[in-house]
Amino acid sequence: MKEGIYMRADRLLSILLLLQNGGKLNSRQLAEKLEVSERTIVRDMDALSSAGIPVYAERGPLGGWMLAENYRTSLTGMNQEEILSLLLTSYSHLLGELGIPKRSFDAAYQKLLASSPAPVRQDAEMLSERIHIDGAGWHTSGESFPQLTVVQEAVWGQRKLDISYRKSESDAAYTGAISRRTVHPLGLVAKRNVWYLVAEENGVIKTFRISRITEAAVLEETFQRPPGFSLSGYWEQSTADFKSALPRYPATISISVQRLARLKRERYAKVLRAEPEDVQAGWMSVDIEFNTLESACEILLACGREAKTLLPPELREMIRNEAEAISALYR
């Protein structure tokens, strides 16, 4: 019984903070955020009103729940899980591994905003515009970032940045030389252990790998950010463009249902069509796209006896040769 009372009190506080920080929210939005039913939200609103909290409903299609103007709570009450979740937000996959639900971070964030003065809330908004954490599954890197502090200073101060940049050896325009350029730093992106600078250069928004910035100097001159620019939106589109530009190697295979589920999570394979082939045996006929012949061979070999390559013939031959070589090793 006590646990139920505690959980409801925690939810009522969460509702209060969400309305205080977010303005107007309808029952559906609150129910989704707090993972309860809309009927529960209505009952909670009655409880808040009975407790003297000035909450009221605005009717109509654009209506929702609101707090009376100028009402503000100073309650924060952060618990240990919420503090840990804040410390680990750069590695959000750790939250689940430690048994800390994502809603703990959301609750902590709302409490921090509620207890902060207006300038701090503005800084939080500016931070979200200038730093993006992408926790997708790329391999970690042993790179060093000696210029990161200088770049961060330019991003935060919205000042132009003079950099010396070394291109990747895999870049088509690679010459071995280091180029000097002046950019407008718009934000930082962390992809696992790799930092990137998103910046505007001569009217074009580009991505720079910070480990390849050999020198950096913050200039006195400021700049205007592009209207409507979204750092997270740019990064998502840039990632999608990168994937679409990768080479494509089509193939047709037969594969077990269980293995197909795992193959769909493979980064360098894209399932285009999957139809039942042998329902009783649990096999599927699949058209799939890899990046190269070599990566297709590597991925399909990892499937073992749960996948059989049908087309193209060169892929079948490569897999057969590799399988025979492996077999010879174990004779």
Query: Using only C-alpha atoms, what is the Rg of the chain?
Result: 27
Q: Residues 6 or more apart from 274 whose CB is under 8 A from it?
A: 260, 284, 285, 286, 287
**1-73 shares its CATH topology with 148-243:** no
Q: Hey, is 204 helix, strand or coil?
A: strand
pLDDT at 118: 60
Among 218, 198, 217, smallest CA distance to 207 is for 198
Q: Please state, in angstroms and rounded to a whole number, the distance separating the CA atoms of residues 34 and 43.
A: 14
Spatial contact of 106 and 35, defined as CB atoms under 8 Å apart? no
Answering whether pTM is above 0.85, one says no
Looking at 3.30.70, 3.40.50, 3.40.1350, 2.60.120, the CATH number of the domain 249-329 comes to 3.30.70
* Count of Cβ atoms closer than 10 Å to residue 116 Cβ: 15
pLDDT at 73: 56
Spatial contact of 214 and 181, defined as CB atoms under 8 Å apart? no
Q: Please state, in angstroms and rounded to a whole number, the distance separating the CA atoms of residues 171 and 249.
A: 21
pLDDT at 146: 86
Report, as an integer, the average pLDDT of 125-134: 63
pLDDT at 13: 75
Q: What are phi and psi of 257, to 5 degrees?
A: -60, -45
pLDDT at 60: 80
CA 4 to chain centre: 34
Structure tokens at 67: 């707090």
pLDDT at 192: 64
> Does CATH number 3.30.40 belong to domain 148-243?
no
Structure tokens at 98: 């430690």
Spatial contact of 189 and 132, defined as CB atoms under 8 Å apart? yes
Report, as an integer, the average pLDDT of 298-306: 93
**Res 276 pLDDT > 60:** yes
Query: Which CATH code is given to the segment(s) 1-73?
Result: 1.10.10.10
- Residue recorded with tokens 């899980």: 81
**Res 20 pLDDT > 50:** yes
Q: Which of 14-18, 134-138, 249-253 has the lowest mean pLDDT?
A: 134-138
Domain limits of the chain?
A: 1-73, 148-243, 249-329
From the number of C-beta atoms within 10 Å of its C-beta (0-12, 13-18, 19+), residue 182 rates as middle
**Res 6 pLDDT > 70:** no
Three-class DSSP labels, 274-308? EEEEECCCCEEEEEEEECCHHHHHHHHHCCHHHEE
